[in-house]
Amino acid sequence: MTQSFISTKSIPVNERLIMALDVPSIDEAKALVEELGDGVIFYKVGMELFMCGDYFGFIEWLKARGKKVFVDLKFFDVPATVGRAIAALSQKGVDLATIHGNDAIMEAAAANKGDLKVLAVTALTSLDRGDLDDLGFQCDVRELVLSRAKRALAIGCDGIVSSGLEVSMLREELDNKLLVITPGVRPVDNREDDDQKRVVTVEGAFQNGADYIVVGRPIRDAANRKAMAETMQAQIAAQFV
């Protein structure tokens, strides 16, 4: 039997599902949140919504409804700029935020995060071995993810974003020292037209040791979105019985 690394962190089970609001307008995002109701507590707001208008007003709208917020903008810039951006974001009531880049960028973010939890991106779930070759990374995907996770931990980041395929390795190497947020989660095997290449199921993500999963299209594109969210919440709850 494969070893289980189920999370022991004190996180309410219904907050372990993070819904990705990858929709083209703030109005559509609000409608989706209202449609899902109490089926989803935690939301990811990313680059698409950032370009749509009142991004921070929408974050305030979410917080006013008792929701948690994950800002996924993958800050990558001169370290001082990233530090100031994270410091400003920490005043917005946001719960999680992503950064990208080298040690100096991570150090600047960690030094300015306040109560905001900063997550370092390891390797995007849309990248495979061939993509990393194209980007000039002459190492195995797992080696890259582990290296970046170790550096994030040493520098003072709160967690990482990692494919569920690498999470069990991270738990073996680093135990429960970092929050691990896993995107690219699918309720069934991957479709051929899916641009996410390194994906796992809900059960696989949590058995491998994820603390949270990020789900977008499986809920957004479902015929009954609230029912799909509730089904996935039930799948998650079954892992923590």
Known catalytic residues are: 74
Q: What is residue 223's DSSP assignment? A: S
CA distance 152 to 114: 16
- Would you call 73 exposed, middle or buried from its count of C-beta atoms within 10 A (0-12, 13-18, 19+)? middle
Residue labelled with tokens 């194209």: 134
| Chain-centroid distance, C-alpha 88 | 20
CA distance 167 to 205: 8
Phi, psi of 141 (to 5 degrees): -55, -45
